[in-house]
Amino acid sequence: MDKEYRPRVLIAGRPNVGKSTLFNRLFGRRRAITDPTPGVTRDVIEEKCVIAGIPAVLIDTGGVKAHYDDVFDDLVSRRSLDSLSNADVILFLLEIGEYTPEDARLTETLRRYAEKVVLVVNKSDTPEKDYMAAEFHSLGLGEPLPVSSAHGRNMNLLLNVLQKRMELALA
């Protein structure tokens, strides 16, 4: 592989699950807009950065919806899904205690990329909530990793997984 190659780490999930917050946390500064209003991220954002000591390209995507309210929602979802095939690592972001039709739609799509997927369960703000992440094990996309993107909880565990996955992409 080209020695200038940077593994591509893509964050995927439904609207308002915390993708842009996780992007900013991994990027190390605020680059993606975060807002409680669903659908703020409309474009795919790509930034070169260093994750776990490895030069990478970090990719934030718009949320994937189960049903489209308008042509823009459809376009955002299509752009996000089109980006999956070029990713080396896909961080599939779910929300602790919640599994929606949008999550189910994306789960089915991600099955074809299962070897690239890291199942990240966001908004696990306290250790007491971590056990709830186990409910996502039944999706068959690997061991769920509970984190809090907003508070930085368990980011060290996510960085360890990312380092291993990116090293495999570089091998």
Question: How many domains is the chain built from?
Answer: 1
Q: Does some domain include residue 160?
A: yes
Q: Does some domain include residue 75?
A: yes
Provide the residue range defining the domain that includes 70. Answer: 8-170
Quote the DSSP letter at residue 88.
Answer: S
pLDDT at res. 155: 97
Of 28, 18, 1, 37, nearest to 91 (Cα)? 18
pLDDT at res. 100: 92
Name the residue with tokens 């997927």: 117
Q: Does some domain include residue 1?
A: no
Quote the DSSP letter at residue 16.
Answer: T
DSSP string, 22-75: HHHHHHTS--S---SSTT---S-EEEEEEETTEEEEEEE-PPPPSS-SSHHHHH
pLDDT at res. 29: 63
Q: pTM of the entire structure?
A: 0.85
pLDDT at res. 143: 94
Please give the average pLDDT of every successive group of 10 residues along the chain, which has 171 residues: 84 90 86 53 80 95 60 50 85 95 89 95 93 93 96 97 96 90
Of 68, 58, 61, 60, nearest to 27 (Cα)? 58
Query: Are the CB atoms for 9 and 51 separated by under 8 Å?
Result: yes
Q: Does some domain include residue 2?
A: no
pLDDT at res. 92: 97
pLDDT at res. 85: 84
The CATH number linked to 104 is 3.40.50.300
Q: Does some domain include residue 142?
A: yes
pLDDT at res. 62: 76
